[in-house]
Amino acid sequence: MEEKMSNFLTEIVESDLAEGKVQQIHTRFPPEPNGYLHIGSAKAIYINWSIANTYGGKFNLRFDDTNPVREGEEFVRSIEEDLRWLGAIPDGGIYYGSDYFEQCYEYAEKLIKEGKAYVCDLTAEQMREYRGTLTEPGKESPWRNRTPEENLDLFRRMRAGEFPDGSRTLRAKIDMSSPNMNMRDPAIYRIVRAEHHRQGNKWCIYPLYDYAHPIQDAIEGITHSMCSLEFENHRPLYDWVINNIGFEKKPHQYEFARLNVTNTVMSKRYLRELVETGLVDGWDDPRMPTLCGLRRRGYTPTSIFEFVRKAGVAKTYSIVDSRLLEYCIRTELGPTVQRRMAVTDPLKVVITNYSADQTEYFEVGNNPEDPSAGTRKVAFTREVWIEKGDFAQVPPPKFQRLKPGGEVRLMGAYLIRCDEVMTDENGEPVELHCICDLETKNGMPADGRKVRGTIHWVSAAHAVDAEVRLYENLFTLEDVSDIPEGKTYKDFLNPNSLTCLKNAKLEEALKDVPAGEKFQFVRMGYFCADSRHPGVFNRIVTLKDSFAKTLEKK
């Protein structure tokens, strides 16, 4: 059973229910369809969905498609797919901000008639100049005192397309001396001629988010509008819109700190730039923090939500160690996925005392943490592949793998001893000639000699050719939001973020596995069959878990 989340937001919800302020919790997730969702989005999704789910409420998905310039159906489809994958089903319905364009327009006319909004002819640059600073009040627009009749006429002509893009805005008439910059007569409509992915060319004026969002919440009956902390200073405007339009049932906005993760970026602008400049292989590149990238790499919805829970929900800025996410997926996969042998950097071993026409099968356990996972048969033949790193011609001290004259156990099979090393012109080993102790397939040698090393292997005759991709952090800088002066985020791209091992040899059981299937490659890490390229396996995470000790100390 999923652990109940407890934080300042759940305390607010429980209090509101107990006091009868609301009868049913209703939340929403309002993404703009101009990019793919990332792991920071997962926090917003989880908070809104889980609170509605926990307290018997409803959860809406609403696309914030009020800016037609970069929005499109591709992003709509990807967002819906991500929510389905996460299991955050919008049982309250799926909506679009553009569904409410007519109502937003009508409410704007209402504000104009009541003298609470006016058409302004200042350019964007002039509006910035008139806005003032944090220490100086703004100046009123020369067009602030137009009559409601004149404003209504101009606004209707704006809708009719009589004026050029950017030539006029509709502004809320609030307070140019307000200490909150967002309350200094903010623009609530602008002229933009761009084809909308749903509305086509029906509109040439579009409401701005700070105006449209509270209206959408109120129309849908949202009770708790939970969003990230950068909207905290926008809350007075949210309330102003709700109160001045006169909604009877008023939604309330609450803010939480967004999810920041080490060694990556969350800005959709930067993520889009990475994709469009070819620095990554699309939005679903497994190095990306996008949900589709994490899915392709092999992360699971449960591991992502567990990461969000462990990261916590608070109101203060923090940056979460990406190793916590690795810990969550590693903890989930260890007891559940089957083990397989894979050689990523192969070195051939010839067993000279084993018949060339003989094939033997060994029973090997599928998961030592789960006896019910059973066993599988692994073929053993005269020629096998081992990792180059498991052999050393001049071994360092305490080296317990294969060396000239030394013995190791082939995992689940025989002990072998290296008798001869075949090298290339550079002296690098290319083939080892070994003998196996045919009496040791069920245990240690009868003469009592001790062999400590065990290495994995793959039968050369049965090996499956594959490409294995190893991933590291996309950036070398821990906090990519704090870039040193004179540098850009591109200066900190990790050149080792992707390593492609194109000559891997996998055991026969890994042939034609379905995309998305996950395994532990013994001694190597956890891997996932790539969804785009058959025969490619992506490393999800390594076996080593230093972060677990960090958690134990806390």
- 134, 181 contact by CB (below 8 A): yes
CATH class of 342-456: mainly beta
CATH number for region 8-256: 3.40.50.620
Q: For the chain, give the percent of residues with pLDDT over 90.
A: 92
**Residue 520: phi, psi to the nearest 5?**
-100, 120
DSSP 8-state class, residue 97: G
- Res. 249 pLDDT band, cuts 50 70 90: very high
Quick one: which of 206, 210, 219 has its CA closest to 241? Answer: 210
In the structure, how many helices (H) and strands (E) does the chain have?
13, 25
**Residue 143, pLDDT score:** 97
**Residues in a beta bridge with 377:** 363
Quick one: which of 338, 433, 455, 334 has its CA closest to 386? Answer: 455
Domain 268-338+466-553 of CATH type 2.40.240.10: yes
Domains 8-256 and 342-456 share a fold: no
The distance of Cα 441 from the centroid of its chain, to the nearest Å, equals 45
User: Worst-scoring range by mean pLDDT, 37-51, 433-447, 510-524?
Assistant: 433-447
Query: What is the rounded CA–CA span in Å between residue 507 and residue 461?
Result: 10
How large is the average pLDDT for residues 138-142? 97
Integer CA distances (angstroms), 511 to 373, 391, 521, 534, 536, in order: 19, 27, 14, 10, 11
**Residue 1, pLDDT score:** 36
Active site residue 173: no
The per-residue pLDDT for range 185-220, each reduced to its tens digit, is 999 999 999 999 999 999 999 999 999 999 999 999
Active site residue 398: no
Catalytic site residue from 32, 81, 273, 383: 32
How large is the average pLDDT for residues 412-429? 95
Query: What is the rounded CA–CA span in Å between residue 554 and residue 544?
Result: 19
Query: What is the rounded CA–CA span in Å between residue 358 and residue 374?
Result: 26
**Residue 53, pLDDT score:** 96
Q: Residue 291's CB: how many other CB atoms inside 10 A?
A: 27
- Res. 545 pLDDT band, cuts 50 70 90: confident
Query: What is the rounded CA–CA span in Å between residue 99 and residue 81?
Result: 21
Query: What is the rounded CA–CA span in Å between residue 524 and residue 426?
Result: 28
pTM of the model: 0.92
Domain spans of the chain, in order of start? 8-256, 268-338+466-553, 342-456
User: Worst-scoring range by mean pLDDT, 113-117, 264-268, 324-328, 438-442?
Assistant: 438-442
- 167, 121 contact by CB (below 8 A): yes
**DSSP per-residue string spanning 358-404:** --EEEEEES-TT-GGG-EEEEEE-SEEEEEGGGB-SSPPTT--SB-B
Q: Over 60: is that where the pLDDT of 96 sits?
A: yes
The per-residue pLDDT for range 443-498, each reduced to its tens digit, is 788 787 888 899 999 999 999 999 999 999 999 999 998 899 999 989 999 999 99
Q: Over 70: is that where the pLDDT of 408 sits?
A: yes
HSE of 324, CA atoms in CB hemisphere, 13 A: 21
Question: How confident is the prediction for the chain on average, in pLDDT?
Answer: 95
Tell me what percent of the chain is helix, strand and coil, each rounded to the nearest 5: 30, 25, 45
How large is the average pLDDT for residues 267-274? 93
The per-residue pLDDT for range 370-379, each reduced to its tens digit, is 999 999 999 9
Catalytic site residue from 43, 62, 268, 330: 268
Structure tokens at 153: 């006429």
User: Which residues fall within 8 angstroms of residue 69, CB to CB, at 6 or more apart?
Assistant: 192, 194
- 283, 293 contact by CB (below 8 A): yes
**Residue 236: phi, psi to the nearest 5?**
-60, -35
Active site residue 258: yes
Quick one: which of 62, 61, 55, 60 has its CA closest to 22? Answer: 55
User: Which residues fall within 8 angstroms of residue 531, CB to CB, at 6 or more apart?
Assistant: 284, 295, 296, 515, 516
User: Which residues fall within 8 angstroms of residue 94, CB to CB, at 6 or more apart?
Assistant: 60, 61, 62, 63, 80
Q: For the chain, give the percent of residues with pLDDT over 70.
A: 97
Q: Residue 242: in which H helix or E strand, if any?
A: helix 235-245
